Structure 1
């Protein structure tokens, strides 16, 4: 946990909570088999561990399949407008330090119309947690390509294949100097919940990209990461402070090249000192960025876990400090006097 806990000001509950306490009476309306169900269950079963009052937890969403999330959480919630969930959540988090604020968004919502709102929330380091459901498709509008769809993707809006180079959400977040950047998978509840715990305790903005299967319009997009026969050989599980070693028999590792990028090597062929040790707390984002590039077609390996987890004062902490300083030096202020000051006139 970096710095002091952002949950320190959020009221705690005296009653023991369970997953049932976070379920609503609303019918969950996603397509049968959608990965959103697994994420919802993971969040509902994880939140009781925080011991927070449900009325002090808020979920803010934008537009898309994932954005129905607030209806199914027995907390406060706000189903907002397309791409603007980080902006609305920023206002909420900065004005209410007694809340645990979560944003639920999708790859289309967050990375198309919401792109600027996302990167500015990250760079400001506002005390909120962003869950980015990435299924690499527009599901709610029935299967158009999204900002994370691969080049050549055949969809209703790209019948001859997409020409757009896709966003890498992790690279984008690291490039925006996000202080907590992580990736996990909808079907791996243990890993998903471990990342959520770390995100909840992080001071500032935490971005968690969740690979989420859309079984209707992009089924199987992440199957290799779930296939028992190959997943261990292509999935790199990041553990802070540990050498980056992977493979079914732990036979593969990462080594730095002279250009600063990474290459996959056989453990038996290198000296242990050459193997990269993961350092999520490194203020220099270059290692985290290099790791984020490993799932490009040239490497075909996918890191999951926490890429970056650095300590930096949150935007809301600094804003409150400025307000307190202004009140001490200039007095508490008078809104009516402020509105009536300066160049004012009356029209009869």
Structure 2
């Protein structure tokens, strides 16, 4: 069957999700959910359009652009591309959203070319793209350059390979059953606290971050871009300060999302040296997303990762009793964090491939 050449236009970013101009952006959220369902059977991986809109409206820390493909007026796919705003940032991160019904007719190729054109026009020299994969073995399994993990080939991975992208990294997507017995979490937390000793203490809050903690929290958030395993993916060292923390908190509040933070503070210095964030949208019966988890390199080996994860999960079970699961992604080479996950009950449900192309 011959498909007409798609018309590609910029994605309209409305001032409100309820505006007359918001139809495209709402369709973007629905399409993202459809893609996650088709590719791995997990529609809850996608955030709702209303949740991500504030981030699209504020270009201070990250610039987001999208493009919509139509054939005969019907939306047949979209592509988005995000640009970190640090001066040293080289990369653009692409998200390809073409449903199965429209794949294979050149729409995905046209959208990828448009996204790459946008990256070049902004002086970026590196392109990145993530693919989703089911936890299964097929005849053709792909191994990343890190050597850790493997994923089955998919139409999107085939597109990435044909366009000159290299599979750099595999991440594991795991889920934790929030309705499970909390006894295991309590035991693991008690043992980890005893191991860590008196130099470390737990601090917890709901966003927005208390003003007196913003500077310390900025310090650990900045480390996520440098201390988390990323293979050869070109991630810029993010610049964080108290003002950026406040801006981020404001965007999250505007989206209606709820975030719980469990952190570990190093008592002698006052530094926050580990943290875990759990996030949910306005539908408290939906999937909870782990937004970030990190232990500073200088403080590893004290079971701080176990402390922040267990403390926040226990807290979340009480806060959000209707949410069924927590979903999280971790690099396959991040064995210490995966070991914590496995010990406390997370199980793998899908995988993601990190692809990169240098222009």
Please give the TM-score of this superposition, normalised by the length of structure 1: 0.27
Based on CA coordinates, which of the two structures has the bigger radius of gyration? 1
Please give the TM-score of this superposition, normalised by the length of structure 2: 0.27
Higher strand share: 2
Q: Which has the higher contact order (CA 8 A, sep 6+)?
A: 2
